[in-house]
Amino acid sequence: MKNRLKVLRAERDWTQARLAQELEVSRQTVNAIETGKFDPSLPLAFRIARVFEMSIEEIFRPEEVSRSPRT
């Protein structure tokens, strides 16, 4: 899942540690979400959206799935 977390965090001049503190998770969790290695749980996604005062959809986007044409 793609996300804008790193950009949103940078706009606020927050470190990963600061965002982790706001979200009550580890810095490693923030890093894993930012790099796409971990998709947050729904409750965590809601906390992220609340912190940035945005909707979940504004922060997270599903990866594009390539479809083969129907024959």
CA of residue 8 relative to chain centroid, distance: 9
In a domain, 57, yes or no: yes
Q: How many domains does the chain have?
A: 1
Residue 68 has pLDDT above 70, yes or no: no
Q: Write the CATH number for 56.
A: 1.10.260.40
Q: What residues make up the domain containing 22?
A: 2-61
Q: State mean pLDDT over 29-51.
A: 97
Q: State mean pLDDT over 3-14.
A: 97
In a domain, 67, yes or no: no
In a domain, 26, yes or no: yes
pLDDT at position 36 is 93
In a domain, 19, yes or no: yes
| Token pair recorded at residue 46 | 């809601």
Residue 63 has pLDDT above 90, yes or no: no
Q: Which residues contact 36 (CB under 8 A, 6 or more apart)?
A: 1, 2, 3
How crowded is residue 59: how many other Cβ atoms within 10 Å of its Cβ?
A: 21
In a domain, 70, yes or no: no
Q: State mean pLDDT over 13-25.
A: 98
Q: State mean pLDDT over 16-34.
A: 98
In a domain, 66, yes or no: no
pLDDT at position 69 is 61
